[in-house]
Amino acid sequence: MFPIKSLMPSGRFPFVTWLLILSNAAIFVYMWKEGLSSVYFIDYGIVPAKLGMPSGVVPFYEKVYPFFTYMFIHGGWLHLIFNVYFLYIFGDNVECRLGHGRYFAFYAASGIIGAMTYVMLSPTTGYPMVGASGAVAGVMGAYLVFFPSARIKTLVIIIIFITVVNIPAVVFIGLWFLIQIGSAFFDLSGGDGGVAWWAHVGGFAAGVVFALAVRFLSFFRGGRAESAL
């Protein structure tokens, strides 16, 4: 299954979503012109093994800032395109629901929690983790909570059978999450050079919890109920 578009209309221009998309693209183009040097991945990505080293070897600040910078670094064109495309599909509605500032903080927090999840479960890995997928997974988790019945126009390919169907978000994102968590449990790479599945799981969980908290506070304060259509 591949999402084509969300059929949930957005009430405002997704300024932050587009800023994130363009920022990721601009940084990747710069890195690509520089030859995608491994220095960028090691310096600005998250290398769990470095975090346990003494401060005399790896200064404290070099252990902190990668939790912010890693989500703007991508290892290739496809890596970039898939992340920003999913952000484009799901980000505008979540941004509309949260507002620009809160959405940006939420995006960053999801990426950080996704990274922390990965580090806790792969503490000795020497390969750098990069990419916006942990943060994007958080956006998808929030979308699931806010708009579970929204329709996702989806391309479905089964061997030679190809069709386009409108699938409820709870089904599309639910299946996506099952793939992520199943892949995390059965990943044979052990986090060494493979996909950081646990970052996806952690970011998604952060998005779900945050969105549930927002809905609870909105209800508690007598705010309007979110639309699930």
- The pLDDT, as a whole number, for residue 226 is 44
Averaged pLDDT score across all residues of the chain = 90
pLDDT in tens, 116-143: 999 999 888 888 999 999 999 999 999 9
pLDDT(114) > 90: yes
- The pLDDT, as a whole number, for residue 228 is 37
pLDDT(149) > 90: yes
- The pLDDT, as a whole number, for residue 137 is 98
DSSP readout, 160-190?
Answer: TEEEEEEEEHHHHHHHHHHHHHHHHHH-TTT
190 versus 34: the higher-pLDDT residue is 34
Question: CA–CA distance from 7 to each of 67, 99, 151, 154, 169 (Å)?
Answer: 33, 20, 5, 10, 10
pLDDT(221) > 90: no
| Alpha-carbon span 111 to 82, nearest angstrom | 16
In the structure, what pLDDT confidence band is assigned to residue 229 with cuts at 50, 70 and 90?
Answer: very low
What is the rounded average pLDDT of the residues 93-113? 96
> Which two structure tokens, joined as six digits, stand for 166?
């409108």
| Alpha-carbon span 229 to 227, nearest angstrom | 6
pLDDT in tens, 37-73: 788 899 999 999 998 888 888 888 889 999 999 999 9
pLDDT(152) > 90: yes
- The pLDDT, as a whole number, for residue 225 is 43
- The pLDDT, as a whole number, for residue 193 is 58
pLDDT(77) > 70: yes
- The pLDDT, as a whole number, for residue 190 is 53
- The pLDDT, as a whole number, for residue 173 is 97
User: What percent of the chain shows pLDDT beyond 90?
Assistant: 69
- The pLDDT, as a whole number, for residue 219 is 66
To 5 degrees, how large is the angle CA 220–CA 225–CA 228?
A: 140
pLDDT(13) > 70: yes
pLDDT in tens, 175-220: 999 999 999 888 755 555 578 899 999 999 999 999 999 988 876 6
pTM to 2 decimal places: 0.90
Q: Which long-range contacts (CB under 8 A, 24 or more apart) does 190-196 make?
A: 190/122, 190/125, 191/48, 191/118, 191/121, 191/122, 191/125, 191/127, 192/125, 192/126, 192/127, 193/127, 196/118, 196/122, 196/129, 196/131, 196/133, 196/134
Among 169, 146, 174, residue whose Cα is nearest residue 5 = 169
> What domains sit in the chain, N to C, each tagged with a CATH number?
2-220 (1.20.1540.10)
- The pLDDT, as a whole number, for residue 39 is 84
Could you tell me the strand order of the sheet in which 151-158 lies?
2-6, 151-158, 161-168
